Amino acid sequence: MARLVAGIDSSTQSTKVELREIDSGAVVAVGRAAHPSTTPPRSEQDPESWWSALTTALADVADHLGDVIAVSVAGQQHGLVMLDAEGAAIRPAKLWNDTESSAEADALVADLGADGWARACGSVPGAAFTISKLAWVAANEPEAMKRLDRIMLPHDYLTWRLSGAHVTDRGDASGTGWWSPSIGDYDVDLLDRAAPNLDDSVLPTVLGPSDSAGVVTAAGLGFGRDVLVGPGTGDNMAGALGLGLGPGDLAISVGTSGTAYSVSATPTSDASGAVAGFADATGNFLPLVCTLNATKVTDAIGRLLGAGFAELDELALAAEPGAGGLTLVPYFDGERTPNRPDATGALSGLRSDVSREQFARAGFEGVACGLLDGVDALVDVGADCGGRMFLLGGGAKSMAYQRVFADLAERQLIVPEAEEVVATGACVQAAVIAGEGSFSEIALRWGLGTGTTVDPADVDSATIRLSYAGQRS
């Protein structure tokens, strides 16, 4: 009988389930179900919809669930889940891209100072952080606070539904704004600044990288008996696991939003707020930059040009690097890095001979420049980004994104073979929980971190990036 692990990726848009053989890492089955759509500034989802999507996705792989010995959940970071004493959601969960709490974030930073926040929890809270969302609820919905019995992150909620355990992990906890990667514990003073007099017993227990949350207790899912449940983690931390990322390696993820992160052996802090000083899921650290606008930008341009995915790629690749002087600043729905929640996009350098090809190219270059600015910020806080460079996420399937990132970064990039690195990372964690080896041993055995390489072409990347920097500021 095959022995399998299950990795769950609960993202903003959907839930994916991936089943892998423990010995070889081969994918056996995949299931998927969509989440309700949501758009900033108020971006919220009912946590029950995530559970519904998970049960649907598990039904897609039902024939194999009896062979699963461990399962783990990776989820979208920062979302605020609030439950009452009966375990019901008090209100919809505010998601990472909800920007209603920008004023509360500004007030929190003014209260302690950017340096104070960076020293205390490694990050300066913006609207994306859980602590800002909690402050918004405390200020605007006091009745909800009176009913509050448990606080969870999105991945914690699904772990709780699977196992009944109110737990989290250090990676996802480090994105709340009230857990410190440097001391490895909650900072109740920070919590009190968002919600005065809130008892910290509402917070989940933080499990270690190889600790189990228990076993699956939820009935009717199709799992066998005594299936171990991992602590889970945030989607970016799971992505690092799914790539077999080691110290010095750099990952750039191009999805609806964009992220750039690397693995560090020591904690980082950045008073500018550009870099979030997260922990990872293995015991190391994961300094990370996040932008709100990535493939949503090129999707919008494709819609305006009446071009689908493939045609938009062709248009962008047909234009010369630099898009004929056309520069796009892609802050379509506000921006997180830099912290401009009310910003909009900007297009400069328009001439009467502008072409569809140039407009398409400018979109890809604008997104890439924004994320490569993030890589520069990682280096500025001491992160080693000189190892392998990976491009992942839905945008990694685009030949135009591959070409533009390689050229503007002036380095080789790797497009990983695994299409769902977050679900793969959850599988890796499940295998570790099952006692099948260390994180690095499993990554090596499964052949993670391999893929197609793209070498840079000789283009004037400095001029393109300088033009973007001039328009961005």
User: Tens digit of pLDDT for each residue in 377-414?
Assistant: 999 999 999 999 999 988 999 999 999 999 999 999 99
Q: Which tokens hold the place of 313?
A: 């790629």
Domain annotation covers residue 253: no
The predicted model scores a pTM of 0.89
Contact assessment for residue 251 and residue 370, using Cβ atoms and an 8 Å cutoff: no
Q: Which residues of 293-308 are buried (b: 16+ CB within 10 A; e: fewer)?
A: bbbbbbbbbbeebebe
Q: What's residue 430's pLDDT?
A: 98
- The total of other beta-carbon atoms located within 10 Å of residue 153's CB is 28
Domain annotation covers residue 210: yes
Contact assessment for residue 137 and residue 145, using Cβ atoms and an 8 Å cutoff: yes
Q: Which domain holds residue 33?
A: 4-235
Q: Which tokens hold the place of 29?
A: 């089955």
C-alpha angle 423-428-432 in degrees, rounded to nearest 5: 145
Q: Which tokens hold the place of 91?
A: 């209100």
Domain annotation covers residue 406: no
Per residue in 273-325, pLDDT (tens digit) is: 899 999 999 999 999 999 989 999 999 999 999 999 999 999 999 999 999 99
Domain annotation covers residue 15: yes
Terminal C-alpha separation, the chain: 60
pLDDT mean across residues, the chain = 95
Q: What's residue 1's pLDDT?
A: 64
What dihedral angle (degrees, nearest 10) is formed by the CA atoms of 391, 397, 401, 406? 40
Q: How many domains does the chain have?
A: 1
Contact assessment for residue 20 and residue 7, using Cβ atoms and an 8 Å cutoff: yes
Q: How far apart are alpha carbons 397 and 254 in whole angstroms?
A: 10
CA dihedral (240, 244, 246, 249) positive or negative? negative
Q: Which strand (E) or helix (H) includes residue 160?
A: helix 154-163
Contact assessment for residue 214 and residue 196, using Cβ atoms and an 8 Å cutoff: no
CATH code for the domain of 100: 3.30.420.40
Per residue in 111-135, pLDDT (tens digit) is: 999 999 999 999 999 998 999 999 9
* Pairing outcome for strands 346-348 and 327-329: antiparallel
Please list the active-site residues. 235
* Pairing outcome for strands 185-186 and 250-254: unpaired
Q: In what order do the strands lie in the sheet with 285-291?
A: 276-279, 285-291, 258-262, 250-254, 389-392, 413-416, 451-454
